[in-house]
Amino acid sequence: MNFIVIGCGRVGAELSYRLFKNGHQVVVVDSKKDAFNRIHSDFRGRTVEGEALSMDTLTRAGMDKADGVAVVTNSDTMNAVIGHTIRTHYPQVKQVLVRNYDPAMREMLEAFGLQIVSSTAWGAERLQELLIDPSFRAVFSAGNGEVELYEMYITEKWNGHSIAALLEGCKNAVIVAALTRAGRAELPASDTLLKSGDVLTVSTTLEGVTALRGRLQEGTEA
């Protein structure tokens, strides 16, 4: 596939190299030639020096043939404008992703209808989870961490009790995706009985996982 990465800072350089190593055609755009020195020496994609808001730069980068674009400059405002420009003038591009650094700017980016990745919000969410309880492991994050898949280990307190009993009081904020027992996964029913050592995979929000942590700590006497 053909990808264009706009902005060759630390994120752009790392993303470009990862895409290249996975066999994709990659073009990196930056206004400063020296920025391309950040890319790994094994990189064999193209680099284009120029202002990303210039139609000439976008043309030289091959925007008309791109399958996807990541806009990852160090300016949230610039990312929004560039992303909007690409969406407007190159509607054939399937994916236009923009980086968000300042959480206060997220609403502005979302107002453009752009798909955003907020490294700050996502990182803060992960740190919070690990500080609160590292026994819950996030295995997939949707959006910017608003909804996630977690793996949680069933303790002896809940041995022999149903999934429905465990989820009681979680305000429908938790959806069970799978139950893994002795290395074999299944789609459990609400009346499935738990065993200590089971791994329950759940989809939930921060509110839901907080309630679920409380249930695990309370045990079946609550």
DSSP codes joined into one string, 21-49? HTT-EEEEEES-GGGGGGS-TT--SEEEE
Q: Catalogue all structural domains in the chain, each as residue range(s) with its CATH number.
A: 2-121 (3.40.50.720), 133-218 (3.30.70.1450)
Task: Using the predicted structure, report yes or no on whether residue 89 has a pLDDT greater than 90.
Answer: yes
What's the predicted TM-score (pTM) here? 0.66
> Between residues 215 and 81, which one has the greater pLDDT?
81
Q: What is the mean pLDDT of the chain?
A: 89
* Percent residues over pLDDT 90 in the chain: 61
Closest CA relative to residue 167, chosen from 194, 186, 147: 194
Grade residue 221 by pLDDT with cuts at 50, 70 and 90.
very low
Q: Using the 8-state DSSP alphabet, how is residue 8 labeled?
A: -
Question: What is the average pLDDT across 179-187?
Answer: 91
Tokens of 58: 């976008």
pLDDT digits (tens, 9 = 90+) for 117-129: 888 887 887 677 6
Q: What pLDDT sits at residue 57?
A: 97
